[in-house]
Chains A and B, each alone.
Chain A
Amino acid sequence: MADFETPEMKEVLSTPKLSRGATEHVSPYVAKPDHQEKLGFPGELVENFEEVAINKMGDLLGKYRGFRVFLDSCVKCGACTDKCHYYLGTTDAKNMPVARQDLLRSVYRRYFTFSGKYFPKLVGARDLTKEVLDEWHTYFHQCSQCRRCSVFCPYGIDTAEISMAAREILDSVGHGQKYCNEIIGKVFKIGNNLGLPEPALADTLEGLEEEIKDDTGVDVKLPLDQEGAEVLLITPSADFFAEPHIDGLIGYAKVFHAAGISWTMSSYASEAANFGMFIGSYENMRRISRRIRKAALDLGVKRIVFGECGHAWRVAYSFLNTLAGPWDFLDPKYPVPQHMLELTHSLIQEGKLNLDKSQNDHIKPTFHDSCNVARASRMGNKPGGQFEIPRAVIKSVCNNYVDMEPGTTHEATFCCGGGGGLLTDDLMEIRVKGALPRMEAYKKVVENNGVTNLVAICAICKAQFTKVMPYYGYGMDSIMSAHQLVSNAIVLPGQGEETAEPVEASEA
Chain B
Amino acid sequence: MNGMENNVAAPVADTAPALLEVRSLRVEFPTRRGTLVAVDDVSFSLRAGEILGVVGESGAGKSMTGTAIIGLLEPPGRIAGGEILLEGRRIDNLDYERMRRIRGKEIGAIFQDPLTSLNPLYTVGRQLVETIRTHLTMTEAQARRHALDMLKEVGIPAAEERIDHYPHQFSGGMRQRVVIALALCAGPKLVIADEPTTALDVSIQAQIITLLKRLCRDHGTAVMLVTHDMGVIAEAADRVAVMYAGRLVEIGPAQAVIRDAHHPYTRGLMGSIPTIGRDVERLEQIDGSMPRLDAIPPGCAFNPRCRQRFGRCEREKPSLIGQGDRAVACWLHEQGEGAS
Partners in one complex: no
B interface list, Cβ under 8 A from A = none
